[in-house]
Amino acid sequence: MMTLGTLTANAQTGNEMTYTPQATTFRLTTLGNTQAVTLRIYNEGIGGKAAKTIKMSPAKDKTSWHATVKGDLKGKFYTFEVKVNGKLYGETPGIWAKAVGVNGKRGAIIDMKSTNPAGWSTDKRPAIAAKDLIIYELHHRDFSAARNINLDPQLHIKRVSSNYPGKFMALTEEWAIGHLKELGVNAVHILPSFDYASVDETRLNTPQYNWGYDPVNYNVPEGGYSTDPTKPEVRINEFKQMVQALHRAGIKVILDVVYNHTFNIDGSNFQRTMPDYFYRKNADGSYSNGSGCGNETASEQPLMRQFMVESVKYWVDEYHIDGFRFDLMGVHDIETMNAIRKAVPADIFIYGEGWSAGSCAYPQEKLGMKAHIQQMPGIAAFSDEMRDGLRGPWDGDDKTAFLGAVAGNEESVKYGIVGAISHPQVDMKKVNYADVAWASQPTQMIAYVSCHDDMCLVDRLKASIPGISESELIRLDQLGQTAVLTSQGVPFLLSGEELLRNKKGVHNSYESPDSINQLNWNNRFKYPQVFNYYRGLISLRKHHPAFHMGDADLVRRHLEFLPSQENVVAYRLKNHAGGDEWNNIYVVLNGSRKECVIDVPQGRYTVVVNCGFVNEKGIDVMEGTQIRIPSQTALIMHD
**C-beta of 593: minimal distance to Ca ion in Å?**
49
Instruction: Give the C-alpha separation, 135 to 132, whole Å.
Output: 10
CA dihedral 156, 158, 162, 163 (to 10 degrees): -100
Q: State the sign of the Cα–Cα–Cα–Cα dihedral 311, 314, 320, 322.
A: positive
Residue 104 C-beta: closest distance to Ca ion, Å: 5
Nearer to Ca ion (CB atom), residue 201 or residue 411 = 201
Minimum CB distance to Ca ion, residue 93 (Å): 12
* CB nearer to Ca ion: pick between 195 and 384: 195
* Rounded CA separation 17/98 (Å): 9
Annotate 174-187 with DSSP letters as a single string.
HHHHHHHHHHT--E
| Dist. CA 581–CA 578, nearest whole Å | 9
Tell me the residue nearest to Ca ion as measured from the CB.
Answer: 195
CB 518 within 8 A of CB 474: no
Q: What is the distance, to the nearest Å, from the Cα of residue 624 to the centroid of all Cα atoms in its chain?
A: 45
Query: Do residues 103 and 223 touch, judged by C-beta distance below 8 A?
Result: yes
Residues in contact with Ca ion by the rule CB under 5 A? 195, 223
* Nearest-approach distance from CB 480 to Ca ion, in angstroms: 35
Give the residue with the Cβ less far from Ca ion, 223 or 389.
223
What angle, 0 to 180 degrees and rounded to 10, lies between the N-to-C axes of helices 302-319 and 334-343? Answer: 30
Between 42 and 531, name the residue whose CB sits nearer to Ca ion: 42
Q: Which entry of 195, 327, 410, 497 is annotated as an active-site residue?
A: 327
Nearest residue (CB) to Ca ion, 226 versus 633: 226
Q: What is the DSSP string of 227-288?
A: S-TTSHHHHHHHHHHHHHHHHHTT-EEEEEE-TT--S-STTSHHHHHSTTTSB-B-TTSPBP
Minimum Å distance from CB 505 to Ca ion? 29
Active site residue 411: no
Are the C-beta atoms of 235 and 201 separated by less than 8 Å? no
* Residue 470 falls in the annotated catalytic set: no
Catalytic site residue from 322, 353, 388, 551: 353
| Helix, strand, coil percentages, rounded to 5, for the chain | 30, 25, 45
- For the four alpha carbons of 352, 357, 362 and 366, in that order, the dihedral sign comes to positive
Of residues 195 and 410, the one with the C-beta less far from Ca ion: 195
Rounded to a whole number of angstroms, the minimum distance from the CB of residue 142 to Ca ion is: 18
Q: Measured from the CB atom, is 13 or 217 closer to Ca ion?
A: 217
Q: How far is the CB of 207 from Ca ion (least distance, A)?
A: 16
Hey, which residues are catalytic here?
327, 353
